[in-house]
Amino acid sequence: MSGAAAPVRVGFVVSKAVGKAVVRNRVKRRLRHAVRPALAGLPAGSVLVVRAQTAAAAASYPELQADLARCLDRVGTQGQEAR
């Protein structure tokens, strides 16, 4: 095995409760785009799973981006408290 750091992996869970396929795919695309800038701030080898709630279908991109940032801040803060 090489000495390269393990990549950060991100998965998205968007159930049928969010909407039909077109809506679910739009939510996934928006979330994927919103999470890209945050990848650099996550530790190497991290696994992040993002679960979209039903309200994500009606949310604008800036709202999704703000919610994701808030959640990642909370996770980062809790991780620092545990150390």
Per-residue three-class SS string for the chain: CCCCCCCCEEEEECCHHHCCHHHHHHHHHHHHHHHHHHHHHCCCCCEEEEECCHHHHCCCHHHHHHHHHHHHHHHHHHHHHHC
- What is this structure's pTM? 0.81
Instruction: Give backbone dihedrals phi and psi of 41, rounded to 5 degrees, phi first.
Output: -85, -5
Residue 1 has pLDDT above 70, yes or no: no
pLDDT tens digits, one per residue of 10-61: 999 999 999 999 999 999 999 999 999 988 888 888 899 999 999 999 999 9
Q: Does domain 9-82 have CATH number 3.30.230.10?
A: yes
Hey, where are the domains in the chain? 9-82
